[in-house]
Structure 1
């Protein structure tokens, strides 16, 4: 499969469930695409690739043993920088929050994690997700 990152979500999920696409392969394809286009887009505030790759490997092992958490199992999901990811900064794209590190996952993150999603990146947003566009966003 030449470009797993370009698959529709439902198709990627079906291929993972059928063990025809690995979560690691999908994540690596996404990370390769990020490396190619992110310098022009500035859409990612924080890349969490190593942690996400560990989670993708764990999802792959669980799926190989016959486990399934549902259609998001092994799917990479970017979180806007207003949603807490335990152990990582959540700045809300504001200098007022520059040093704030999440001590636990947001409820949405925890539910996505329980469903098997992996989190490779915190994504840019308007400050506190209101107003905009900000001067430092690409649009």
Structure 2
């Protein structure tokens, strides 16, 4: 197995921190940017995360850090042999909205397409947060 690969992505949204936090923790909203995955959890530290996809794919995870509305860290994993993926969302309020940073740590995550995958996740997160 390859080593740990860390990536980080950032963007800005005009939405406030509470609205971004809702998008990060509401199962109906997580499905819009996490490729259909509904993340269900109590969103407290050490809480279990169930991630279900309508096509039957499931992941399990655990909340590692939960400080609403500024930081959410969790790990997700498929079957026991799958390498875990660690996600950290950092929400920083500022003038005219928030900066959103996604940090991704993957064991053996040397996939050339990973940057495209995670950039799309971030773009799909903030797109519905923009005013109509």
Q: TM-score, normalised by structure 1?
A: 0.26
- Bigger relative CO (Cα 8 Å, ≥ 6 apart): 2
Structure in which a larger fraction of residues adopt helix = 1
Q: TM-score, normalised by structure 2?
A: 0.27
User: Which entry has the higher C-alpha Rg, 1 or 2?
Assistant: 1
